[in-house]
Amino acid sequence: MSPLLEKKVQQTSVPHREYETKIVRERVFKGGITKGEKVIYTLALMAVVCVTYLIVSNYATIYSLNHEMQQVESQINNQENVNSGLALQVKELSDPERILDIAQNELGMKLNDESVKVIHNND
């Protein structure tokens, strides 16, 4: 070949190779995550974990408080039943006829109607 033809072939082939190299370089994608993305993903993951922990701990606290409240309400109901039973006993035991019967029969007391004074309070 002549030197002129060789120059033309080199000139035409060299730009073509550079063009192919540029295309290949533009198409090449370096995979991976940047440091900034890693930090953002880590912080987001930590935030999700913290929020999840707070939600679960709040539900656990609410559950335990509801359980305690139900126990206290049950104790209150039991105590109210005991109190109502005792109030009924107080009414039965404070009956004037019962007191008079015990005083006369068991203690040997006698009722003297002349010494009884009735006081009416009309204030």
In a domain, 118, yes or no: no
Mean pLDDT across 71-92: 96
Q: How many folded domains does the chain comprise?
A: 1
Per-residue model confidence (pLDDT) at position 119: 81
Across the range 74-94, mean pLDDT stands at: 96
Does residue 10 sit within a domain? no
Dist. CA 48–CA 41, nearest whole Å: 10
Structural domain includes residue 72: yes
**């009924």: which residue's tokens?**
88
Look at residue 122 and tell me if it is in a domain.
no
114 inside domain: no
Nearest CA among 13, 2, 7, 82 for reference residue 74: 82
Q: Residue 111: pLDDT band by 50, 70, 90 thresholds? A: confident
98 within some domain: yes
d(CA 118, CA 60): 65
Q: State the DSSP code for 106.
A: T
Domain residues for 79?
Answer: 32-108
